[in-house]
Amino acid sequence: MSVIEAKNLKRSYGKNESKFEALKGVDVKIEKGESVAIVGKSGSGKSTLMHLLALLDHPSSGEILLNDQNTTNIKTKELNKLRNESFGFVFQQFFMNTKDTVLNNVMLPLKIAGISAGKRKKMAMAALKEVELDDKASNKANDLSGGQKQRVCIARALVNNPQIIFADEPTGNLDSKTGVKVEQILFDLNKKQGITLIIVTHDDELAARCDRQIHIIDGNIVKDVK
Ligand SMILES: Nc1ncnc2c1ncn2[C@@H]1O[C@H](COP(=O)(O)OP(=O)(O)OP(=O)(O)O)[C@@H](O)[C@H]1O
């Protein structure tokens, strides 16, 4: 059974003369536990595809199936819940509340899910332990190094036991040594916990470490290598 599948996915931006087709009819099936790199030149449609798969955006046409369930007609509130329960996100720009503590940042998805305060703290501390940052729980997120910030984001991504972690250039803002450490954490989660990994990247070495490389040119998948 595929964990996520796209059927004839199209996404255009703008209207009339300024209409631009960023995805032109993509079919892809991703199996549970796979690690997949989405690669291609700038502007090829990688982030568009990732945002659609992650249910952060709606396609112009086509379908996304999550665990064989068609997501097309799911209402916004339910979709937000499904996304929060099923996915974790790691972005190049970290996206966290830098004024808040590390612990509060990691607990956020659990708060949204309505999990009790005591349980939230336990789960967040366990996730921070996995990325070896439990000793920084009460620090302000701003006071961490770039690599530590990205590890906090990974802890936040895995805290709700997601089926899939989506990572958009997760090592793009890190020096190569720190990037390798962050990569290792992601691949360990994939191998040891079976979390499906979908990574958008320009980094050939990172892409090569994935089980599969999906190559996009001008809104089409042109090569899918396993
Ligand atoms: N909101 C938008 N409005 C109009 N055009 C957009 C919008 N978002 C993306 N595009 C266009 O769609 C195309 C695909 O964009 P996308 O961000 O998916 O590319 P990408 O492969 O992720 O690029 P990069 O590697 O530079 O992040 C680009 O030509 C981009 O200019």
Which residue has the least CA distance to atom 3 on ligand 1? Answer: 13
Residues with CB under 6 A from ligand 1: 13-14, 20, 22, 40, 42-48
Extents of the domains making up the chain? 2-225
11 - beta bridge partners? Answer: 23
Q: What is the pLDDT of residue 1?
A: 78
- pLDDT of the residue at 94: 77
Task: Take atom 12 of ligand 1 and give the residue whose Cα is closest.
Answer: 22
Give me the pLDDT at residue 95, please: 86
CA angle 165, 171, 174 (to 5 degrees): 145
pLDDT tens by residue, 45-77: 999 999 999 999 999 999 999 999 999 999 999
Which letter does DSSP use for residue 62 in this model? Answer: E
Q: In the block, which residue shows the tokens 């336990």?
A: 122
Q: Whose CA is nearest to atom 18 of ligand 1?
A: 45
Ligand 1: atom nearest CA of 219 is: 14
Of ligand 1's atoms, which has the minimum distance to the CA of residue 44? 21
> What pLDDT shows up at residue 83?
94
Tell me the three state secondary structure of residue 211: coil
Cα Rg of the chain, angstroms: 17
Does residue 147 contact residue 178 with C-beta atoms inside 8 Å? yes
What residues are paired with 101 via a beta bridge?
140
- By CB atoms closer than 10 A (0-12, 13-18, 19+), residue 13 is exposed
Superfamily of chain region 2-225: P-loop containing nucleotide triphosphate hydrolases (3.40.50.300)
pTM value is: 0.94
Instruction: Enumerate residues 6+ apart whose C-beta is below 8 A from 20.
Output: 12, 13, 14
Mark the ranges of the chain whose per-residue pLDDT is less than 70: none
